[in-house]
Amino acid sequence: MAAEKMALAKAINESLRRALESDPKVLIMGEDVGKLGGVFRVTDGLQKDFGESRVIDTPLAESGIVGTAIGLALRGYRPVVEIQFDGFVFPAYDQIVTQLAKMHARSLGKVKLPVVVRIPYGGGIGAVEHHSESPEALFAHVAGLKIVSPSNASDAYWMMQQAIQSDDPVIFFEPKRRYWDKGEVNTEAIPGPLHSARVVREGTDLTLAAYGPMVKTCLEVAAAAAEEGKSLEVLDLRSVSPLDFDAIQASVEKTRRLVVVHEAPVFFGSGAEIAARITERCFYHLEAPVLRVGGYHAPYPPARLEEEYLPGLDRVLDAVDRALAY
């Protein structure tokens, strides 16, 4: 049987293993990815089986990691690099934004940069600062990058396969607090396109749109709302750039209400883009303004306050009530 239950982190591990096996040009690079298997053990056992020239422990230098991955990609390799935590991608931000994102266009399409940048992101694990951030909007604003985030083990497995096969650079945001959640993975399935959203729960009264760690939260919200007789549809966006506006539009035309949920600060966040476009596309269908639930315009707080900061069941339900009250 090809279907197996595994944790999300394990699914990524299995996906990386498959990529290393099937394409000798695939490389894994990053801090502590070798013997330690990464601080989250996502690359566990890969160096043992594929050797130090395929699974490369790098110096502690993010700009160096991404910059050399670009060079390797120019030489025909397909590097998959790990940034240890969300807040540590910024030393590499220059390389990602000024080089990785733009080289294809600058070379008039001659150069392809199939680089995957894996970033464990988001909060909820009680960490110290710079270990809990959601910087996806900072990358989504940059043309040339694809930004994706799986919410479950199966997507983690398949989206990683597709990200590695993509000839464009992909920023692969991994929902670290869902790493240990188990789900069914069918390693022989034929996956849908990387950039399509998916309805993960059908409903008629309102659409909740989310990606990554917030999908599970939204499913919990929908279950809680169902007990109060409200029927919520949950959309797993899966990709932030590009965004599957057709899928959101289809759902909103049915439910007529939309609440977008993400951990990142609401201000200038991906929810803002979704709200603006959906308002434009669905103006005559909407019964309520598109509402957003997310982080505040404040630094990610210390661990003992993160429950207040992160969108939880109550805060999302509150927004649902407000949208339904229009």
Partner 1 sequence: MTVESTAARTPRRSASTKSTAGKRTTAKKGTGAAQGTDPQLVQLLTPEGKRVKNAEYDTYVAGITPEELRGLYRDMVLTRRFDAEATSLQRQGELGLWASLLGQEAAQIGSGRALRDDDYVFPTYREHGVAWCRGVDPTNLLGMFRGVNNGGWDPNGNNFHLYTIVIGSQTLHATGYAMGVAKDGADSAVIAYFGDGASSQGDVAESFTFSAVYNAPVVFFCQNNQWAISEPTEKQTRVPLYQRAQGYGFPGVRVDGNDVLACLAVTKWALERARAGEGPTLVEAYTYRMGAHTTSDDPTRYRGDEERLAWEAKDPILRLRRYLEASNHADEGFFAELEAESEALGRRVREAVRAMPDPDHFAIFENVYADGHALVDEERAQFAAYQASFADAEGV
Least distance in angstroms from the C-beta of 318 to partner 1: 7
Site stretch for partner 1 (CB under 8 A), options 52-60, 74-82, 155-163, 182-190: 52-60
What is the contact surface with ligand TPP in residues (CB under 6 A)?
A: 31, 60, 62, 84, 88, 91
Q: Which residue has the tokens 């966006």?
A: 237
Instruction: Give the helix/strand (H/E) hosting 318.
Output: helix 313-324
Query: Active site includes 141?
Result: no
Nearest to 86, CA basis, from 117, 60, 61: 117
Instruction: Provide the strand spans (E) within the chain.
Output: 3-7, 26-30, 55-57, 78-82, 116-121, 146-148, 170-175, 182-186, 198-201, 206-210, 232-236, 239-241, 258-265, 291-295
Q: Which residue has the tokens 């989504």?
A: 140
- What is the total count of residues that contact partner 1 (CB under 8 A)? 40
Q: Torsion over CA of 10, 12, 14 and 16, rounded to 10 degrees?
A: -150
Output 84 or 162, the one with its CB closest to ligand TPP.
Answer: 84
C-alpha 235/C-alpha 272 separation (Å) is 17
Number of H helices, E strands in the chain: 12, 14
Least distance in angstroms from the C-beta of 9 to ligand TPP: 18
Output 184 or 314, the one with its CB closest to partner 1.
Answer: 314
Sequence-ordered list of residues with C-beta below 8 angstroms from that of 142, at least 6 positions apart, any chain:
96, 97, 101
Site stretch for partner 1 (CB under 8 A), options 29-37, 109-117, 140-148, 176-184: 29-37
Query: Is 93 buried (19+), middle (13-18) or exposed (0-12) by CB count in 10 A?
Result: middle
Site string for partner 1, 100-129 (x = CB under 8 A): --------------------------xxxx
Output 84 or 207, the one with its CB closest to ligand TPP.
Answer: 84
315 binding partner 1? (CB under 8 A): yes
Residue 149, binding choice from partner 1, ligand TPP, none, Cβ under 5 to 8 Å by partner class: none
Least distance in angstroms from the C-beta of 299 to partner 1: 7
Sequence-ordered list of residues with C-beta below 8 angstroms from that of 283, at least 6 positions apart, any chain:
none
Output 91 or 191, the one with its CB closest to partner 1.
Answer: 91
Q: Which of residues 231-270 bind partner 1 (CB under 8 A)?
A: 267
Say which of 130, 131, 262, 285 is annotated catalytic: 131
Q: Which of residues 183-242 bind partner 1 (CB under 8 A)?
A: none
Rounded (5°) CA angle 207-143-157? 60
Binding stretches for partner 1 (CB under 8 A)? 31-32, 34-37, 39, 57-64, 87-88, 90-91, 126-131, 267, 296-299, 301-305, 308-309, 314-315, 318
Catalytic residue positions? 131
